[in-house]
Each structure stands twice: as C-alpha cells, then as structure tokens.
C-alpha cells in the first residue's frame, strides 16, 4: 500500500454460505479523495462498503485504516468501534427524526452519548452552535433550521443525513447511491456538496447514476463479479473495452456506460 493511503483493502474475499460475493478485491484510498465505486448489479460494491464499515467480516484479506489515532486493522474491530474510530456509513434509506427540526436532528447527531431528550433539553455552547451553523451552511439547509425534517424534500433529507454524519467528524464517509430518487438539480447540488466535503475528509460513493459519476468523479473503481475490473480516471474507464463489455455486452460505446 502507498505510504499516503488512508485506507487500504488488500485481497479481500467475502463469502456468504460459500458464495464468494467479493474475491481478492484490493482498493486503496488517498486522504481527501472522492472515489466512486461502480459496476453492474451484484458486482460486490455494497459488500465492499460493508467490509470497510465492519458490518461484514472477510474470510481473507486485510483492511487497514490509517486513522488519526494510528493504524487500525478493520477486520478485527466491531462495527460501532470502527464508526467511533472515524468511518461513517450512510445507507440508502434516511434515518432522520422526522418529527424533529433540522437543527434538532443535528444536535442529536452531535451528542451521540446523551439521550435524545437530554440533548434537546441541554443548552448549546457557543462552539456547538457555531458547529451546527457551519454544517447547516454546508448542507444548504440554513434557511430550514426550524423546519420539521419530515417536511423536507427527498434531496434535503439526504443532505440532512449527510450533515448528521459529518457531526461525528468521520475521516472516511461511505455513501450508497446518495442521489437515487433525486431531481437533476438535487443531484448536482449533492455532487457539489461531496466536493466540498472532500476538502477535509475522504469519501467513497457506490453509484449507478453514470451522469453523476461523469460529472463529479476524479477516480473511479469498477467491480465485476466480486473482483476489481479496473480503476482509473473516468476517461480511462470509458475507454476501457472490458468495462464496456461488462456494461454493454461487447458493444463499445464509451458514453453509454451504465
Ligand atoms: N447477506 C448476503 N447473503 C447472501 N448473499 C449476499 C448477501 N449480501 C450480498 N449477497 C450477494 O453478493 C453479491 C454481491 O452483492 P452486493 O450487494 O455487494 O452487490 P452490488 O454491486 O452492491 O449490487 P447492486 O448494485 O445491485 O446493489 C450478490 O450476488 C448478492 O446477491
């Protein structure tokens, strides 16, 4: 692994009842990169995210996280410990408190150690207030701080959930299809948000929306049948015959990938 990697997965294999969902997959991330993980259905993309956040343990291979606290062997840690160490995972369905305001949701995310009601009763310190304001501005919900989360649009709910994850100060953020169901405008805003987030953190996005990937990716990793097919720039990926074949069945049309 390169000296500068923040995360390095080497030769990872995952089996479910003998079926190898991931086979000898390697993936290395530099700090501050926005990496897209693409591939046809069943390629093993979500399973790789599950490995990185500790939800699934590989049968072989290694996953090293160069965290602020030192190097951690992810395969030997429990999921909640990995989250505490700085790897945050957002699943497809939002897990926000629909009956609470945007700001209250962020307050709760900030103080995971306290109960919901204790958090809402406690008054915020000036620093905490500032922190929430920063996050509200980042996720574009400054004008909605008092809006009930359940009333937000689909895109806004996703941004709120991303904001809630950011309150935990993760070093690596893992996102599974963050723009699914979003309008074009929301999709673009999400891309801009991710580009802002990677100024301070590393982000991995599993994605099927190829236009979104083309617009915002610098580096892309393609998986197929549990293995690494190719990684490179979007241009390199689009020019690759094997990638075209996997997506299109022989026909080579770079702009139609996905
Ligand atoms: N818990 C599980 N038990 C058994 N098989 C599983 C489990 N999770 C995933 N699989 C299988 O492993 C393979 C890889 O699944 P995975 O969800 O990682 O693919 P993916 O690339 O994320 O696909 P998609 O784009 O459709 O979400 C699939 O064949 C899937 O059916």
**Most ligand 1 atoms within 8 A of CB, residue of 19, 47, 51, 177 to mutate:** 47
Question: What would the pLDDT profile of 69-126 be if each residue is shown by its tens digit?
Answer: 899 999 999 999 999 999 999 876 668 999 999 999 999 888 765 566 666 666 778 8
Which of 94, 88, 90, 75 shows the shortest CA–CA distance to 207? 90
ipTM above 0.90, yes or no: yes
Q: Whose CA is nearest to atom 7 of ligand 1?
A: 16
- Torsion angle (degrees, nearest 10) of CA 191, 183, 208, 203: 20
Residue range 15-33: mean pLDDT, rounded = 96
Q: In what order do the strands lie in the sheet with 227-232?
A: 87-90, 172-176, 202-206, 34-38, 219-224, 227-232
Write down all domains in the chain, each with its CATH number in brackets: 1-86+174-182+202-258 (3.40.50.300), 93-169 (no CATH)
Question: What's the CA gap between 73 and 84, in Å, rounded?
Answer: 14
CA of 35 to the centre of ligand 1 (A): 20
CA of 208 to the centre of ligand 1 (A): 14
**Residue 200: how many CB atoms within 10 A of its CB?**
11
Q: Taking the chain, what is the end-to-end CA distance rounded to the nearest angstrom?
A: 30
């Amino acid at each position: 692994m390169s000296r500068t990697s923040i995360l390095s997965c080497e030769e990872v294999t995952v089996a479910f009842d003998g079926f190898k969902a991931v086979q000898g997959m390697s993936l290395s991330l530099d700090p501050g990169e926005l990496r897209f993980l693409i591939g046809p259905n069943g390629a093993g993309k979500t399973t790789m995210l599950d490995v990185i956040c500790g939800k699934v343990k590989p049968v072989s291979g290694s996953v090293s996280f160069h965290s602020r606290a030192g190097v951690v062997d992810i395969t030997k840690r429990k999921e909640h410990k990995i989250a505490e160490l700085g790897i945050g995972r957002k699943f497809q369905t939002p897990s926000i408190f629909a009956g609470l305001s945007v700001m209250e949701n962020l307050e709760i995310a900030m103080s995971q150690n306290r109960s919901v009601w204790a958090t809402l009763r406690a008054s915020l310190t000036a620093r905490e207030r500032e922190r929430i304001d920063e996050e509200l501005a980042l996720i574009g919900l400054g004008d909605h701080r008092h809006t009930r989360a359940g009333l937000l649009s689909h895109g806004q709910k996703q941004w709120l959930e991303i904001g809630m994850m950011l309150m935990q100060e993760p070093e690596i953020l893992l996102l599974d299809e963050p723009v699914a169901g979003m309008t074009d405008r929301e999709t673009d805003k999400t891309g801009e948000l991710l580009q802002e987030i990677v100024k301070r953190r590393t982000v991995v996005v599993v994605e099927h929306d190829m236009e979104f990937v083309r617009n915002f990716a610098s580096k892309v990793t393609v998986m197929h049948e549990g293995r690494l097919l190719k990684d490179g720039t979007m241009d390199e990926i689009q020019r690759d015959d094997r990638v075209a074949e996997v997506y299109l069945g022989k026909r080579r049309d770079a702009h139609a990938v996905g």
